[in-house]
Amino acid sequence: MSAATAGAADVGSRFDAARAVADAVLFEGYVLYPYRASAAKNRLRWQFGVLVPPRWGRDSGESSFQRTECLMEPRGGARLFAELRFLHARRRTVQRALPGGGFAPAAELELADRVLTPWDEGVEERVGFTVPVAAIGEGHTVPFTVPAREETEDVREDGRLVGRLVHTREELNGRIVLSAADLPGPYAVRRLTAVVDNTADWPPADTDQGRDGADRTAALPRSLISAHLMLGLDAGRFLSLTDPPQWAAAASQACENVRSWPVLAGCDGRADVVLASPIILEDHPAIAPESPGALYDGLEIDEILALRTATLTDQEKREARGTDPRAAAVIDLADSMPPEVLERLHGAVRSLREITGPGTPAGDADLLLEPGTPWWDPAGDRTVDPDTDRVVIDGRQVGAGCRVALRPGLRRTDAQDLFLVGRSALVEAVLHDVDGGVHLAVTVEGDPGADIRREQGRFLYFQPDEVTPLEDA
């Protein structure tokens, strides 16, 4: 790194609380189940936070920058800590050792415990710096460069040289541009803007972008991947953009964030750190304590991935172990996970509260449940009965056995609802949820599978304002 890393140790300690979530962002979707390089979905990688070279990005539809805007209330003499983190694609090629000496390119190198194949490894890069808030003004630019590098790694089996891996990194160039402006009004609030740019001059001007120069595979080693920014104040606070104070609501809405989603991420609920992520998070995000380790597969569930990974064949596991050290760690984790850890992944309740006790009104005594009874069980709650309950719609009592016309509302997002508009249906039950909502379970008349759906209890569900009673209702 260049001189931009000055003060990186001080910066790093400021962000320790946010580091676990930032790591999850950094490796979001890094390698997908079944964790093999040969899998089709591992051939088009890195969809979040990819900042490509600007010349290539103009014709590809991908962007070379991300913009973060947030509100801060710095106190006198405050310093701003910043750390840009991203992955650098390190291209790995495989070479087989020749009997007479030397090496030749190979599609794979099969060993007893793994199968090595070409692969793009993600190497973490950081650019950290500190700047007094008062010195930011209309523009404070921090350029950075990551030099090109090539490394070789011998591969041996039973003490014998069988091949080698060649790891190649291209040069990266970029910059971080900070600016800050006071907002009008009685509050000492400033709008902070941070723009991260990939400034790589690639492809060369004489390259035909319709050929090799336009290939995303060639652009990735020159891109900032999973780029995200952490910002911190040593005196003062940031304001939440999703839940700002009422007096700051208009200013929060005016913040312009492009390919960046800033959220509060300070320890113990503090507001001195912001994580600007390429994926949407909530304020103060956290890693679930039940998670036994990183699985890298974006938008999946630990329990499902652990079970699916355990079903891979020995050959598939060898290929995954040879794909990437992080994939190998996932395989080892799934193979060694004890039953009690797996059971812990099945689910967790985080917001239980006592709703009955000595102070329960006498009139509600019949609602108290015996110890060991589920907190809510339709069979144990005599106040509801899906078969006999009725709801008033357009002045008519509607319940099980009534006919209605379906009028799906605008709040629904299922495209198949278009085929149900105006269709007649039979109400099978009236259901009440724990939040006080009412839902009608229906089967569509004329559906040849209605009897099977009824037998299996698989219905369509509509709210009362989405149906109209028919004459015989």
| CA gap 147, 143 in Å, rounded | 13
What phi, psi does 109 have (nearest 5°)? -135, 110
| CA gap 229, 85 in Å, rounded | 6
What phi, psi does 49 have (nearest 5°)? 65, 30
Buried b (16+ CB within 10 A) or exposed e, 298-309: eeeebeebbeeb
In this structure, are residues 26 and 149 in contact, taking their beta carbons and an 8 Å threshold? no
Q: Is the pLDDT of residue 58 over 90?
A: no
In this structure, are residues 29 and 45 in contact, taking their beta carbons and an 8 Å threshold? yes
Give the residue with greater pLDDT, 17 vs 22: 22
| CA gap 416, 437 in Å, rounded | 23
Q: What is the pTM of this model?
A: 0.73
Give the residue with greater pLDDT, 356 vs 433: 433
DSSP designation for 353: -
**Range in 38-47, 125-134, 152-161 with the lowest mean pLDDT:** 38-47
Residue 49 banded pLDDT, cuts 50, 70, 90:
very high
Give the residue from 262, 265, 261 showing the smallest Cα distance to 285.
265
pLDDT of residue 7: 43
Q: Is the pLDDT of residue 224 over 90?
A: yes
| CA gap 11, 30 in Å, rounded | 26
Q: Is the pLDDT of residue 367 over 70?
A: no
Give the residue from 76, 83, 66, 4 showing the smallest Cα distance to 273.
83
Give the residue with greater pLDDT, 433 vs 275: 275
| CA gap 169, 151 in Å, rounded | 9
Give the residue from 266, 406, 335, 294 showing the smallest Cα distance to 113.
335
Domains of the chain as residue ranges with CATH: 3-343 (no CATH), 384-469 (2.30.30)
**Range in 27-31, 44-48, 334-338, 359-363 with the lowest mean pLDDT:** 359-363
DSSP designation for 75: P
| CA gap 97, 164 in Å, rounded | 7
Q: Where are the beta strands (DSSP E) in 308-418?
A: 390-393, 396-399, 403-406
Q: How far is residue 176 from each of residues 16, 59, 73, 239, 319, measured CA to CA in Å?
A: 21, 23, 21, 22, 39
Which residues have CB under 8 Å from 318's CB, separation 6+? 113, 114, 115
3-state secondary structure of 388: coil
Residue 12 banded pLDDT, cuts 50, 70, 90:
low
| CA gap 114, 314 in Å, rounded | 10
Mean pLDDT along residues 295-311? 84
Q: Which helix (H) or strand (E) holds 58?
A: helix 54-60
Give the residue from 225, 265, 223, 299 showing the smallest Cα distance to 26.
225
3-state secondary structure of 421: coil
Give the residue from 21, 72, 20, 261 showing the smallest Cα distance to 178.
72
Mean pLDDT along residues 203-218? 64
Q: Give, in degrees to the nearest 5, the angle at Cα 74 between 15 and 194.
A: 60
Q: At what angle do helices 325-336 and 302-310 cross, to 10 degrees?
A: 90
Give the residue from 153, 7, 23, 24 showing the smallest Cα distance to 81.
7
For the stretch 94-99, contacts whose Cβ atoms lie closer than 8 Å and that sit 24 or more positions apart, written own/partner, are 94/118, 94/163, 94/165, 95/163, 95/164, 95/165, 95/166, 96/162, 96/163, 97/161, 97/162, 97/163, 97/164
**Range in 40-49, 67-76, 255-264 with the lowest mean pLDDT:** 40-49
| CA gap 311, 316 in Å, rounded | 10
Q: Is the pLDDT of residue 371 over 70?
A: no
Structure confidence by residue, pLDDT tens digits, 103-126: 999 999 999 999 999 999 999 999
Residue 212 banded pLDDT, cuts 50, 70, 90:
very low
On average, the pLDDT of the chain sits at: 87
pLDDT of residue 382: 65
Structure confidence by residue, pLDDT tens digits, 304-351: 888 889 899 999 999 999 999 999 999 999 999 988 888 888 877 777
